[in-house]
Amino acid sequence: MALDRSVSRRRLLQFAGGAVAAGTLAACGGGGGSSSSGGTLKVVGVGDQEAGLRKLLDAYKTAHSGFDFNLSFAPADQVQTALRTQLGGGNAPDMHVVYPGNGSAMSMAQLAKAGLLADLSGQSWTQKIPSGFKGAFQSDGKTYIYSPGSSMLGAIYNKKAFATAGVQPPTTWSELLEVCDKLKKKGIVPIALGAQTPWVTQLIDYALVPGTVYAKTPDFDDKMAAGTASFADSGWADAMTKYLDLQKRGFFNDNPNGTTYEQATSMVATGKAAMAVQVSAVLSAFRAAATSPDDLSMFPFPSTDVVADNWIPAGVVVGIAVSAKSKKLDQAKSFLDYCGRQENLNTWAEAVSCVPLYGDAKVDPALTSFLPALKANKAVPFMDQRWPNAEVQPTHFAVVQELLGGKTSVQDALKKMDTAYKKGA
């Protein structure tokens, strides 16, 4: 009964909204426009997407006289509130940010299951999605999201700070500890950590886990899904212990739980800190905060002393999708078809410092050191993209903050993640 009432309410409100809109148009003496052509496409993205998305929207507008767009951005931590409310209320923008794979309330799989995304499978670029990435783009065999490529996760470092301490990017865990030690002795914070910003808390684990878990158990995600593996009894424990070891050795800034992402960015950009474990998509933000953008580069963050085991995390970057209920479905799909052309894909990928989804385009020089691992098939998608529900990731954020605050143990933290994982889809 309650369900029927709420549907009726929505219809009533839609009707009321329609009546108001019709009244407004009549009052203005205007007529209704075509629903599928002309008009302004409403687009909502997140900040990390701006450089690439705006560039392509501008280029598309120049090439298509009837096309216009209204682009706005939601902060990453508010996307789930702002956009989900619009989606739930039936007034979603024509195109909006969506996270690849599964694992968050705004992920492709979750929204596709709810029937809120338009199927893009008919577009030619979707045939070029590498097989290893299909899980990030597809649900039930249909493609629902466009993304320009994959972001590398590693250490963004300040070359001047490294030069001051006379150190080079490390290739093993032991070398990393030595480098941090030398930096610390020079009075430079080795690793800036802004763990007050929840999504930042996960990055060091994500950098370590490819080596401590996936290099030995490449099918770890399948085993987790089958219930034959757990976080607590896996290399996740090794990764989290190493994460805490970095804190115990004093290699982070003081009070990481009270430090924000922005403060950590500023510390590295100004050379107060030497590095921060981050995704390449934010390189532009670090460069913008630096005196000279060339001071900054990236290297893979080593997790073991066996160089061959140091796999890298490489996740499909945050993408964009078309709302299934958009009244400008054709226009929005045409734009994404345009984004899928090789030259346009390259433009967007270059703007957000990611490796293009397909083709052999030039990549940001800062990412050069990641390419051998990528070519050797030693890259692992960001872990949350295959987690079964939207609860595991925020649980991970919280337990890392508890670990850094000395309020829990590695085993208890991982057990909480296992409990969240077992809640299923």
Per-residue b or e along 148-172, where b marks 16 or more CB atoms closer than 10 Å to that residue's CB: bbbbbbbbbbbebbbebbebebbeb
Minimum distance of other proteins from residue 7's CB (angstroms) = 8
Minimum distance of other proteins from residue 265's CB (angstroms) = 15
Q: Which region, judged by CB under 8 A, interacts with other proteins, from 106-114, 124-132, 223-231, 280-288?
A: 106-114
Minimum distance of other proteins from residue 9's CB (angstroms) = 6
CA dist 250 and 92 (Å) reads 46
**Selected binder of other proteins within 391, 396, 410, 417 (CB under 8 A):** 391
Minimum distance of other proteins from residue 386's CB (angstroms) = 17
The number of residues making up the chain comes to 425
CA dist 70 and 217 (Å) reads 46
Residue 88 near other proteins by CB under 8 A = yes
Tell me phi and psi for residue 98, to 5 degrees.
-145, 145
Q: Helix, strand or coil for residue 53?
A: helix
Residue 82 or 225 with smaller CB distance to other proteins: 82
Q: Tell me the per-residue interface mask from 116 to 135 with other proteins, x by CB under 8 A, - otherwise.
A: x-------------------
Residue 98 near other proteins by CB under 8 A = no
**Selected binder of other proteins within 256, 302, 340, 381 (CB under 8 A):** 256
**Selected binder of other proteins within 255, 291, 292, 368 (CB under 8 A):** 255
Residue 68 or 77 with smaller CB distance to other proteins: 77
Residue 339 or 414 with smaller CB distance to other proteins: 414
By the 10 Å C-beta count (0-12 exposed, 13-18 middle, 19+ buried), 337 is classed as middle
Q: Which region, judged by CB under 8 A, interacts with other proteins, from 158-166, 192-200, 304-312, 344-352?
A: 192-200
Q: Which region, judged by CB under 8 A, interacts with other proteins, from 20-28, 53-61, 344-352, 389-397?
A: 389-397
Q: Which region, judged by CB under 8 A, interacts with other proteins, from 301-309, 339-347, 370-378, 405-413?
A: 405-413
Q: Which region, judged by CB under 8 A, interacts with other proteins, from 103-111, 144-152, 308-316, 356-364?
A: 103-111
Close Cβ partners of 3 (under 8 Å, ≥ 6 residues apart): none
Beta bridge partners of residue 379, listed in sequence order: 312
Nearest alpha-carbon partner for 73 in 99, 103, 105, 51: 51
CA dist 10 and 25 (Å) reads 22
Minimum distance of other proteins from residue 89's CB (angstroms) = 9
CA dist 258 and 193 (Å) reads 10
- The Cβ-side half-sphere exposure at 62, using a 13 Å CA radius, reads 6
Q: Helix, strand or coil for residue 288?
A: helix
Within 24-83, which residues bind other proteins (CB under 8 A)?
A: 77, 80-81
Q: What is the 3-state secondary structure (H, E, C) of 355-392?
A: EECCCCCCCCHHHHHHHHHHHCCCEECCHHHHCCCCCH
CA dist 383 and 60 (Å) reads 34
Distances from the Cα of 250 to the Cα of 75, 148, 157, 193, 256, angstroms: 31, 38, 18, 12, 11
Instruction: Classify residue 90 as left (phi > 0), alpha (psi -120 to 50) or beta.
Output: left
Residues in binding contact with other proteins, number by CB under 8 A: 44
Q: Tell me the per-residue interface mask from 323 to 362 with other proteins, x by CB under 8 A, - otherwise.
A: ----------------------------------------
**Selected binder of other proteins within 111, 167, 179, 239 (CB under 8 A):** 111
Minimum distance of other proteins from residue 412's CB (angstroms) = 11
CA dist 16 and 302 (Å) reads 58
**Selected binder of other proteins within 34, 70, 72, 85 (CB under 8 A):** 85
Within 259-278, which residues bind other proteins (CB under 8 A)?
A: 259
Residue 138 near other proteins by CB under 8 A = no
Q: Which region, judged by CB under 8 A, interacts with other proteins, from 55-63, 132-140, 195-203, 241-249?
A: 195-203
Q: Which region, judged by CB under 8 A, interacts with other proteins, from 147-155, 253-261, 290-298, 374-382?
A: 253-261
C-alpha angle 7/10/16, rounded to 5°? 145
Tell me phi and psi for residue 24, to 5 degrees.
-65, -45
Q: Which region, judged by CB under 8 A, interacts with other proteins, from 155-163, 254-262, 337-345, 362-370?
A: 254-262
Contacting residues toward other proteins, per CB under 8 A: 1-3, 5-7, 9, 77, 80-81, 84-85, 87-88, 105, 110-111, 113-116, 195-196, 198, 254-259, 389-391, 394, 397-399, 401-402, 404-408
